[in-house]
Structure 1
Amino acid sequence: MHVLLLLDNNLVKVNYKVQMIEDCNIVSGDDCIAVKSGWDEYGIKFGMPSQHIVIRRLICVSPDSAMIALGSEMSGGIQDVRAENLTAIDTESAVRIKTAVGRGGYVKDIFVKGMNLNNMKYVFWITGSYGSHADNDFDPKALPDISGINYKDVIADYCNYTAKLEGIPNDPFTGICISNVSITNSDMKKLQWNCTDVEGFSSNVSPVPYELLSQKEEKKFDCPFPDEKLPIESVMLKTCSFKSV
């Protein structure tokens, strides 16, 4: 297990199997929370996924980065991340996925609900061309699997762009679900949905998504969020105090 938790208005990084972050206020010049699992061929070989992670009741300020970033070092896999009750102010993006050709691995079964965002550049941002590599020995045929990405119950005000969702040619990102979203933009003349090489569905979303995320208005639905609790959520933390004499 490799862990760096710098709370009190600093960056939180999570590697491998730290499982719950809650009730944090973070101001950062980078991602407020970054979930990673290894870089290119080294992450693939080590094969230790970051999974079963709970993030909730988070307030983030990060003008140049994300509230929560998944990747870009995700070659060991990231799965089953549950994030809820999130607030971002003056932040570049909300829950961002970063990957690239050569990473391999996967980011899948990501569940996000209850985001309140104010003064953002992007509400939804998934990047398939996050380019740098550890060295020149990465496998250019190692394509990442990005699937089962779910966002629901989002209110965002004063945003520049609704979404930039860029998959990888011949390796589309699939199973993207977005529901119950209301976004006001600072300039509605801009292209609000910039989507390439992605597949998914949406319901009750304003502004209306690009056709690659087909809107099913005839039958509204909610994107899934797991009901069952993870074991970490049942752990009872004890408080203690001491008096120096």
Structure 2
Amino acid sequence: MVSAGVSIGSEMSGGVSNVLVENVHIWDSRRGVRIKTAPGRGAYVSNIVYRNITLEHVRVGIVIKTNYNEHPDEGFDPKAVPIIENISYTSIHGHAVRVPVRIQGSAEIPVKNVTFHDMSVGLVDRKHHVFQCSFVQGQVIGYVFPVPCKNLDLYNELHELVKQSTLQNISDIDYSF
């Protein structure tokens, strides 16, 4: 089993931006698409677009992890925290996925402006495996299944606000999992 279909990180000291991941089919993998970083990595991950991604028999479909604490040596600066922002997921579909989304931001590395649009992922177990989010801010546009995190604003297909998140402070944690 592959660790991740497409992975960005963990080394971020130079920054990663303006990346398009499109028309990808990921199957029999631990993770579908992943961004991983940690304090001490510095720089940024921004303007990343995932479009037309198919997930099949994947443990966790979408992952953003900000506590990937592996460093090559002790010479890193723990105060060098990366910025993660402007990440877009459009036309994400699949089946037999255990956890569709796991975004693990933190107080020092919040995940900002994440967008989900047109997403439908069939789950292995609908009772326990839903969106899992902490320290994330963003929006959902149109139809997204399963139900997204409570700290994301909901918009219709015309980009009209339907429901503003009740958790407006990015430090509010959604423990819906």
TM-score for the superposition, normalised by structure 2: 0.85
Q: Structure 1 segments of 4 or more deviating over 4 A?
A: 218-221
Deviation by residue 1:123-146 (Cα, 9 ceiling, x = unmatched): 111101101112212111111011
Structure 2 counterparts to residues 2-151 of structure 1, below 5 A: 63-151=1-89
* Correspondence for 2:109: 171
* Correspondence for 1:197: 135
Name the amino acid aligned to 1:174: K
- Find the residue that maps to 1:215 and give its secondary structure: strand
More strand, by proportion: 2
Name the amino acid aligned to 1:106: Y
| Structure of greater relative contact order (alpha carbons < 8 Å, 6+ residues apart) | 2
User: Quick one: distance in 2 between partners of 1:218 and 1:121?
Assistant: 29
Correspondence 1:216 to 2:149: no
- Find the residue that maps to 1:65 and give its secondary structure: strand
Contact kept, 8 Å, 2:47 with 2:87, in 1: the verdict is yes
Alpha-carbon offset, residue 215 of structure 1 = 2.2
Q: What residue ranges of structure 2 are gaps of 5+ in the alignment? A: 161-177
- Find the residue that maps to 2:144 and give its secondary structure: strand
User: Quick one: distance in 2 between partners of 1:93 and 1:220?
Assistant: 30
User: Quick one: distance in 2 between partners of 1:158 and 1:220?
Assistant: 30
CA 1:162–1:146: 2 relative to 1, 3 Å: same
* Correspondence for 2:169: none
Contact kept, 8 Å, 1:155 with 1:182, in 2: the verdict is yes
Contact kept, 8 Å, 1:111 with 1:150, in 2: the verdict is yes
* Correspondence for 1:207: 146
CA RMSD of aligned residues (A): 1.5
Give the aligned length: 159
Deviation by residue 1:136-167 (Cα, 9 ceiling, x = unmatched): 12111111011110110111101001111001
- Find the residue that maps to 1:92 and give its secondary structure: strand
Q: Say which one has the larger Rg.
A: 1
| Aligned sequence identity (%) | 33
Contact kept, 8 Å, 2:84 with 2:111, in 1: the verdict is yes
